[in-house]
Amino acid sequence: MFIVNNYLLAIIFCFITMLCWGSWGNTQKLAGKTWRYELFYWDYVIGILLFSLLSAFTLGSIGSEGRSFIPDLAQAEWGNIGSAFLGGVIFNAANILLSAAIAIAGLSVAFPVGIGLALVLGVIINYIGQSTGNPALLFGGVALVTAAIILNALAYNKMAKQTKTVSSKGIILSLLAGVLMSFFYRFVAASMDLENFVSPAVGKMTPYTAMFIFACGVFVSNFIFNTIVMKKPFEGTPVSYKAYFKGGFNIHWVGILGGLIWGLGNAFSLIAAGKAGAAISYGLGQGATLVSAFWGVIIWKEFKDAPQGTNGYLYAMFALFIAGLGLIIAAGM
């Protein structure tokens, strides 16, 4: 299988993860013009599952190092399979809440608040699980990201007071999504031998196998979580499965593309974790908050009606995110 053997390449992979995790939400915004997010989400989950299979039978099955996908899956212990599967279930619950927050509050709010919180809590959780990196730099970076989240919330609140069109529901859903999202990576990482991808311990899984099991957890749990949300939506009227099958190829493809983009980011994050460590790999990946905020503010103009002075909060937010991510990178050098 393909293995990352140096820290610089691991960091490059983490930046690709950041771009992917911060950009998939654009597909929801595109589909959202004519398509409910609950329906979009089915295609998104299918995209994640498809990419996990694609990566498993390509990068996960080539080369002379490590175990290839099928032999690795066959020897995996049930406890590790269950851990990765549970990671998928937790992620799916969190991501459905995040998708609802995007639909209600937009990318420039849902991601910085929800995924920013997930970054802060997730780095702590993953560092406890595997203490890799300089803690002073790592948690210094986390502190700056926390300050950036607070500034984003202040900017959102400033706009909400003037426009009186934005509900606090978006913030609440983002916070709930962030708390849940902070836990999923630890369960997936625990199913792998992060110390040795070349000759992983018996019973542990490679990143490619862990990603496939994770994707199965996302897919299976979606029949429960998304069905509930379809019948009891956070906003609007209930939506049926019949509506999903009325969608054309183009609208379904947008959702699948969103899942493929997120899946690519997830694969690169797990691959990089062997060299960078789970806390740094996860933390940089969740720098997606910076990317998504850029899309929301610059491209989708989600703060165009905000009162004077709001831009100052947003510029400071971007600066703090960049500085925080810089410290997280330095923590592993």
Which of 37-46, 78-87, 240-249, 287-296 bottoms out in mean pLDDT, i.e. has the lowest? 287-296
User: What pLDDT, on a 0 to 100 scale, did the predictor assign at position 106?
Assistant: 79
Cα dihedral 100, 120, 125, 8 in deg (nearest 10): 110
User: What pLDDT, on a 0 to 100 scale, did the predictor assign at position 183?
Assistant: 94
User: What pLDDT, on a 0 to 100 scale, did the predictor assign at position 70?
Assistant: 96
User: What pLDDT, on a 0 to 100 scale, did the predictor assign at position 92?
Assistant: 96
Residue with tokens 């190829």: 249
3-class DSSP assignment, residue 205: strand
Angle, in degrees to the nearest 10, between helices 7-23 and 249-276:
150
Residue 163 has pLDDT above 70, yes or no: no
Per-residue pLDDT, averaged over 305-332, amounts to 88
Q: Is residue 294 a contact partner of residue 107, using CB atoms and an 8 Å limit? A: no
Distance CA 148, CA 151 (A): 5
* First-last CA distance in the chain: 25
Structure tokens at 281: 């790999």
Q: Is residue 214 a contact partner of residue 84, using CB atoms and an 8 Å limit? A: yes
Range with top average pLDDT, 10-19, 139-148, 274-283: 10-19
Residue 333 has pLDDT above 90, yes or no: no
Averaged confidence pLDDT in the chain: 90
Which ranges of the chain does DSSP label H, i.e. alpha helix? Answer: 7-23, 25-31, 37-57, 69-75, 78-105, 107-110, 116-129, 135-163, 169-190, 207-231, 241-245, 249-276, 278-285, 288-294, 310-331
